[in-house]
Structure 1
Amino acid sequence: MTLPGTNGTARHGHAHDRLPAASRHTRRVMTAVLAPAALLTIVAMIALWPARPHRGAGSGDDGRRANGTVISVTEQSCPAGTAAGQACGSATVHVEHGPGAGSDVAVDLPSGPGAPRLRVGDEVVLLYLPGAVPGGHAYTVVDHQRGRPLIWLIALTAVVILAFGRWRGLTSLAGLALSFTILLLFIVPAILDGSPPLLVAVVGSAAIMFAALYLTHGLNVHTSVAVAGTLASLVLTGVLGVAFTAALHLSGVATDEDSFLASIPGSIDMRGLLLAGVVIGALGVLDDVTVTQAVTVAEMAAAGPTTRWLLYRAAGRVGRAHVASAVNTIVLAYAGASLPLLLLFATGSQPLSQVLTGELLAQEILRSAVGTIGLVASVPITTALAALVADVRTGSGSPARPRHAAAAH
């Protein structure tokens, strides 16, 4: 079955292949706009690429770590004054990999907030520190092994995506893998190498946007419109982030982790790192909205006679409904991630005004507010761009300008 406004050829199995084809003039315009942006992104990535892969200073524990399985647990009564809920006693662990592999070793039951609770059969990570505690055990349990459950969780997620999305699901997984590759091989090492974090984030986000969107949704005009709308919204988000970070006098140092990064030799720009997080976080929501708006306009244009203004208004109504739910999603996502922080503030004695204006919570408000503004702005921007390049029909089935047989791919 062929949708109205296509080139007359129906391709099966690819949802984006059935979108209405665009005119040659429209494709030329989008290419003229986006090709220089893509070229500039490539040049910037080459210029900012870290000189050498970063090797973390770490604590040197890798050579003293071992993996094992708990084979017995012996609990004892805790001394008077021990905190409630704390475990006392010892366990026997069979070391499978690392120092002492093949042997059974004794360990003290972990104690303290967040300490792992041991049961027979648990797979654990051990730290081998002989002589660290005079008369104590040489091994200490530091964590549970999570590799196997994580692999099953990721595999289940991939199966669900492929079962529902089929070919589109496969391309979305490929786009996700590419996004993580750029993040881990370019963005993080480049920031650690001393490059300006905001510039690295903008260039890296642009690279992720070009690669992931085209790979997931196909090389066509509708995706190009989404790319252009996303790029414009990212620029707006970055500008707002810079302006309000300065207006709020945020330093980017609000937690112990921030303080540790700020003390690393080489002096990471912590304010730039804060802005980089804002830009990268915004990208994850923007592409969803912009793709939806671009495809909505294209489908409406193909459905029958209309004008660009009517297209814009109709697609704008769809965008408003989408944004209304997406904004709530953004705020709840930040609130969920910061729930321990919110509980900590709730148990404190500081006035609410001081809590809200403190550096730590002000950073979260900045991320939420600037990301929301960029998200809302992406709807009219992308809708307007899509309406401008749409092949509008002004008569009963007659296109406003000649439609070409070439597909948008």
Structure 2
Amino acid sequence: MEVGATARVALLAGLGVALVATLVGLVVWWPPGDVADQAAESGGPAAQFAADGVTFPSGEVVSVAPRCPGKGLPDGSGCSTLEVEVEGEDLTVQVAVPPEVLDSGVAEGDQVELLRTPTPDAVDGAEASYSYFATDRDGTMLWLLLFFVIVVVAIARWRGLFALFGLAFGGLVIWWWVLPALLDGAPGVGVALTGASMIMFVVLYTTHGFSLRTSTALAGTLLGILLTAGLGVIAIGNAHLTGISDEAGAILATFGELDFQALLGCALVIAGLGVLNDVTITQASAVWELRAASPGASRTEIFNRAMRIGRDHIASTIYTIVFAYVGTALILLMVLRVYDRPLIDLLSTEQLAEEVVRTLVTSIGLVLAVPVTTGLAALIASPRPHEVGT
């Protein structure tokens, strides 16, 4: 059997084993029921978002009071408040708001969400106090979503439509399986590998079609995920990260006995999933295009040419990972900047160290996935045997 044919058989057999392992993981770690219902039954504090009887009615802003002087905090004089007409009730209430809400530009006619709390002496729930909860941003997010879909489909056409389907499928897997399985106590890294594998099997084949090229990219992605997971487990243990770096982690800790280091390992895998998919599909496509342009070139020549493309892709993707973190953590970085301590000392804080480890681990997994995928593709997209040897 030729080297190319042998590599193809090995590739498909390996993907078959990975698919079986993924399905087994889905069954073994399938959560027994709705996690929220279980939490409510157990009375856990994480199960309730608000106290009994509290509701969140919407309302329309009727008027906006000027911001209070000084730090802008409400002082009882009516400043820094909104007058809101509550929907479904013949009632207009005045609620105090933080100064940043006024600074955001909230104005008459905007929709806000209120927190309605029954008072102790309420009769049939008729008497209640109201406070500001959030500004209704559904309209903005809806038109942004529609614009995103239109742009993707208009430019990428069918490929873009399939990509949107894959994105929706990935979101469903994370929301309906990964998160409940983690809350049920399943091992974080195992859940991450299983969920990531299932997402990639569906996303890659629906977006790019069933072909050896797609299969090669899938194999490279799965190997990159394994490398990222293994390195992440080592780094988290070596750095003694707790996995609890903010208020959300502290709230989740009240839910039950969760392994937050394992959850951090799961987060590392999911964080690197998108960029891994990006580079592996690009490298596989580069090899196939190079093979089509030079059908008589040797595998080594194809590999070297594709790696020149891969190195450029690595550089640009590394920038993407780092600057994406800087953008999401800008406020935290500003706070650290004003501290009267050297940056090297602050790197050991839980919040910053966790993000540094996350960025470095996903970047290393990304870089290693490029030569692995390129090598696999060069083996499978073999030269024509009657034109040149290997």
Question: TM-score per shorter chain, which class?
Answer: 0.7 to 0.9
User: CA 1:357–1:73 in 2, change beyond 3 Å: closer, same or farther?
Assistant: closer
8 Å Cα contact 1:205/1:280 also seen in 2: yes
Q: CA deviation at 1:372?
A: 0.7
Q: CA deviation at 1:197?
A: 1.5
Q: What do residues 336-364 of structure 1 show as CA deviations (whole Å, max 9, x unaligned)? A: 11111111111112232220122221111
Q: What do residues 2-26 of structure 1 show as CA deviations (whole Å, max 9, x unaligned)? A: xxxxxxxxxxxxxxxxxxxxx8766
User: CA 1:77–1:314 in 2, change beyond 3 Å: closer, same or farther?
Assistant: closer
Pick aligned residue for 1:293 from 259, 279, 283: 283
Q: What do residues 19-68 of structure 1 show as CA deviations (whole Å, max 9, x unaligned)? A: xxxx8766543221101111110111111111002216122368511011
Alignment partner of 1:326 is 2:314 = no
Q: What do residues 302-337 of structure 1 show as CA deviations (whole Å, max 9, x unaligned)? A: 112200000000000000011110001111111111
Pick aligned residue for 2:16 from 12, 23, 35: 35
8 Å Cα contact 2:283/2:310 also seen in 1: yes
**2:381 aligns to what?**
390
**2:332 aligns to what?**
341
Pick aligned residue for 2:183 from 189, 192, 212: 192
What SS does structure 1 have at the residue aligned with 2:35? Answer: coil
**Mapping of 1:167-206 within 5 angstroms?**
167-206=158-197
Read off the aligned partner of 2:117 and give its amino acid letter. Answer: L
What SS does structure 1 have at the residue aligned with 2:59? Answer: strand
Unaligned 5+ runs, structure 2: 37-45
Read off the aligned partner of 1:151 and give its amino acid letter. Answer: L
**CA–CA separation in structure 2 for the residues paired with 1:233 and 1:361:** 24
8 Å Cα contact 1:222/1:386 also seen in 2: yes
**2:50 aligns to what?**
60
Q: Which range moved further: 23-32 or 220-229?
A: 23-32
**2:25 aligns to what?**
44
Identity of aligned residues (%): 36
**CA–CA separation in structure 2 for the residues paired with 1:306 and 1:231:** 28
**2:264 aligns to what?**
274
Pick aligned residue for 2:301 from 283, 295, 310: 310
**CA–CA separation in structure 2 for the residues paired with 1:220 and 1:233:** 20
**CA–CA separation in structure 2 for the residues paired with 1:37 and 1:137:** 56
Q: What do residues 106-135 of structure 1 show as CA deviations (whole Å, max 9, x unaligned)? A: 12231355677642101010111243799x
What SS does structure 2 have at the residue aligned with 1:71? Answer: strand
What SS does structure 2 have at the residue aligned with 1:138? Answer: strand
What SS does structure 2 have at the residue aligned with 1:366? Answer: helix
8 Å Cα contact 1:312/1:384 also seen in 2: yes
8 Å Cα contact 1:293/1:319 also seen in 2: yes
What SS does structure 1 have at the residue aligned with 2:47? Answer: coil
**1:9 aligns to what?**
none
Alignment partner of 1:236 is 2:207 = no
Read off the aligned partner of 1:348 and give its amino acid letter. Answer: Y
What SS does structure 1 have at the residue aligned with 2:33? Answer: coil
What SS does structure 2 have at the residue aligned with 1:371? Answer: helix
Pick aligned residue for 1:120 from 100, 105, 108: 108
**CA–CA separation in structure 1 for the residues paired with 2:149 and 2:268:** 27
8 Å Cα contact 1:91/1:109 also seen in 2: yes
**CA–CA separation in structure 2 for the residues paired with 1:40 and 1:73:** 58
Q: What do residues 256-314 of structure 1 show as CA deviations (whole Å, max 9, x unaligned)? A: 222222232x2111111111111100111000100010111111111122000000000
Read off the aligned partner of 1:142 and give its amino acid letter. Answer: F
8 Å Cα contact 2:111/2:136 also seen in 1: yes
Aligned residue pairs total 368
**CA–CA separation in structure 1 for the residues paired with 2:100 and 2:83:** 22
What SS does structure 2 have at the residue aligned with 1:92? Answer: strand
**1:111 aligns to what?**
98
Alignment partner of 1:94 is 2:82 = no
Unaligned 5+ runs, structure 1: 1-22, 402-409
Read off the aligned partner of 2:12 and give its amino acid letter. Answer: T
After superposition, the CA RMSD in angstroms is: 2.5
User: CA 1:34–1:253 in 2, change beyond 3 Å: closer, same or farther?
Assistant: same
**2:41 aligns to what?**
none
User: CA 1:54–1:382 in 2, change beyond 3 Å: closer, same or farther?
Assistant: same
**CA–CA separation in structure 2 for the residues paired with 1:364 and 1:176:** 24
What SS does structure 2 have at the residue aligned with 1:108? Answer: strand
What SS does structure 2 have at the residue aligned with 1:179? Answer: helix
User: CA 1:177–1:76 in 2, change beyond 3 Å: closer, same or farther?
Assistant: closer
Alignment partner of 1:141 is 2:132 = yes
8 Å Cα contact 2:80/2:98 also seen in 1: no
**1:8 aligns to what?**
none
**1:13 aligns to what?**
none
Alignment partner of 1:153 is 2:144 = yes
Read off the aligned partner of 2:278 and give its amino acid letter. Answer: D
